[in-house]
Amino acid sequence: MSRVAAVNERYRATAAVARDGVSLFVVADENGATLNAAIGAVARMAAEDGSDLWEHVLGAAKSLRWHLAFRPQPLEFNPSVTTAAHAVVAQADAIRPALGDDGTALLDALTEAAERVAAEDPPIGPYLLESVVEVGPAACLVVADGTLSRGQIASWLGPLGFRVLSPGMLADATSIADVAYVVGPPRLMRTSLATAPPTPEVSFFVPSWFGDRSLPTTAIADYAQGAIRPRVRVFELGKLKPNADEVAPEPEPIEDFAPAPVWKSQSSAHRVPGVDEVVVRKVLLSGGYAIWMDDGERIRTLDPSQPTGERVTYTDVAAVEPGTYLVLRLGVTERTVLYEATMASMGVLRAVVESSQDRWKQALLGRLRSAGRPHVESAIRRLGVKAAEQAEAWTQPTLARPQLDSDFKLLLQWLEIAEEPTLSNATKFRRARFRAASHMREQLELAMASADIEALRVEGHVKVHGAGFADIIATRVLAISPHTNVVPRHDAREPFLDGGGRWLE
């Protein structure tokens, strides 16, 4: 099918869903309801307690609940549910000695609920299987919430001939079908599944304990004329046992439902950083890592959707968000490696240039330490230095010199350092650094060419091996802290182990 024909089909599907609405199959799930109630009780206890003690227990429990909403396949095809349930028990056992009777009783209820979930197949699975078999493989699609869910559901339905796609795959022209069965609450799925649907008929499968049954809307829907707002037809499947809680679940804010990052107790640092310090935010990464990310201009990233040779690039720090893939060196920062590569490339000039650079940078650093950054910036700005606010950054070994010759000459004059050969040496260093950075990018591209990109998409991180690159990791950003910290400058952007994102994987 041509691209134009596929677009026409999408328009027809959108018109059909706008006219007929979407179906919401609400499946009775007693075990999930019990787990959901136990999580709510633990969350209330944690809020009253106000400590960090409960964070990992809640993280593990919410992760299990999330899997229940999006992984309907039988347990033999559902290793993530079993693993998540075991994690709940392990985290509960870890804090049990620190709790009183009330807390212990809540943990007992939570772990019992988790164990029941791990002992019985999710109830949505049989209804989903019945639906797709009735329609047939050629006429339907199954839509998972992401790559990992898609892989596990496909291991169950794929051998039967059914297509399982992630939302990002729906633009493919070969995915045309009559009906899309979406696994998961609409409120937690992409808005486009309802406003720009892949098929003329869309049905969502939702567990009974998820209270919010509304459709997602775009940010401009309330202001747009003729915004698409499909109606929802609700069908209840199965029945809770008489002893189950018959009270209709209250809609829960998404931010409370989703597994949350564990930041520990922290508040934004308000003190002015010292000369050798920098303001940062913690960034949690796939694979159990984190970095302190400063507000520098760029950071090296990877785009797995690009062809080999064009995947590694630089991205503005301000544009980094959850889902961005960072390319990092384990045990060292990119700046350090670039500096060493630059100096090594200079051969016999290395000693002269290194000494020259060190002389003016140490002089500037001494002024900053003795007089303070505000005074130094004010003093050189009065001289006419246009980028005076960069004074502290210029002391870093990897930053060659001020961008403007005029700024550098005025700075050297203020530092009482001869203009030559300082300016020439700094310029040579800048040119060598540019060549070294280009060479490093080429080497990274070669190393990334051997990386398993599908594993990166599924697992969230991958290590690559090549000449001099055994310590490189490409890893997905899981969360960025809303709080700032002040850390030593040399700690910024160097990966370290941190378990705060383990429930977000």
128 touches 149 (CB < 8 A) = no
CATH number for position 284:
2.170.16
Residues 54 and 140 in one domain: no
User: Whose structure tokens read 């961005």?
Assistant: 324
Q: Is residue 265 part of a domain?
A: no
Q: What is the DSSP track for 195-216?
A: HS-SSSEEEEEEETT----PPP
451 falls within a domain: yes
Inside any domain, residue 381: yes
Domain boundary among 64, 86, 119: 119
3 state DSSP class of 180: strand
Domain identity same for 57 and 102 = yes
Distance CA 393, CA 411 (A): 13
Same domain? For 452 and 316 the reply is yes
220 is a domain residue: no
Q: Are residues 331 and 368 in the same domain?
A: no
* 264: in domain: no
Per-residue pLDDT of the chain (505 residues), as tens digits, is 566 666 667 667 777 787 888 999 999 999 999 999 999 999 998 888 877 888 999 999 999 999 999 999 999 999 989 999 999 999 999 999 888 888 899 999 999 999 999 999 999 999 999 999 999 999 999 999 988 899 999 999 999 999 999 888 887 656 678 999 999 999 888 888 877 788 899 999 999 999 888 887 655 545 445 556 678 899 999 986 654 444 444 555 666 788 888 887 666 667 778 777 888 999 999 999 999 998 877 888 988 888 887 888 889 998 999 999 998 888 777 788 888 889 999 999 999 999 999 999 999 999 999 988 899 999 999 999 999 998 988 998 888 999 999 999 999 999 999 999 999 999 999 999 999 888 888 877 777 777 778 888 878 888 876 555 557 888 999 999 988 898 888 888 889 998 888 888 8
Whether the model clears a pTM of 0.75, i.e. scores above it, the answer is yes
Q: Is 488 helix (H, G, I), strand (E, B) or coil?
A: strand
CATH number of the structural domain spanning residue 165: 3.40.50
The token pair that represents 120 in the structure block: 């019985």
252 with 173, same domain?
yes
Shared-domain flag, residues 109 and 66? yes
Residues 240 and 310 in one domain: no
Strand pairing of 298-302 and 325-329? antiparallel
How many domains is the chain partitioned into structurally?
4
Are the CB atoms for 474 and 302 separated by under 8 Å?
Answer: yes
Residues 37, 151, single domain; the answer is no
- Cα-based distances in Å from 304 to 300, 309, 324, 460: 13, 11, 10, 11
Residue where one domain finishes, among candidates 384, 413, 434? 434
Relative to beta strand 485-488, strand 277-285 is antiparallel
The answer as to whether 367 is a domain residue is yes
Domain range holding 451? 277-338+443-504
Query: What is the spatial distance between Cα 141 and Cα 136, in angstroms, rounded to a whole number?
Result: 10
Q: Show the 3-state SS of 298-354.
A: EEEEECCCCCCCCCEEEEEHHHCCCCCEEEEECCCCHHHHHHHHHHHHCHHHHHHHH
pLDDT value of residue 2: 61
Could you tell me the end-to-end alpha-carbon distance of the chain, in angstroms, rounded to an integer? 36
Q: What is the structure's pLDDT at 471? A: 77
Taking Cα atoms as reference points, which of 175, 198, 183, 178 lies closest to residue 150?
Answer: 183
**Do residues 296 and 399 share a domain?**
no
Strand-pair category, 140-143 with 461-464: unpaired
Model pLDDT, residue 246: 44
Measured CA to CA, the distance from residue 378 to residue 6 in angstroms comes to 61
- Indicate if 305 and 421 belong to the same structural domain: no
Residue 181 β-bridge partners: 142, 203
In a shared domain, residues 364 and 300: no
Do 135 and 63 share a structural domain? no
Any domain includes 266: no
Last residue in a domain, options 119, 153, 169? 119
**Is residue 143 a part of any domain in this protein?**
yes
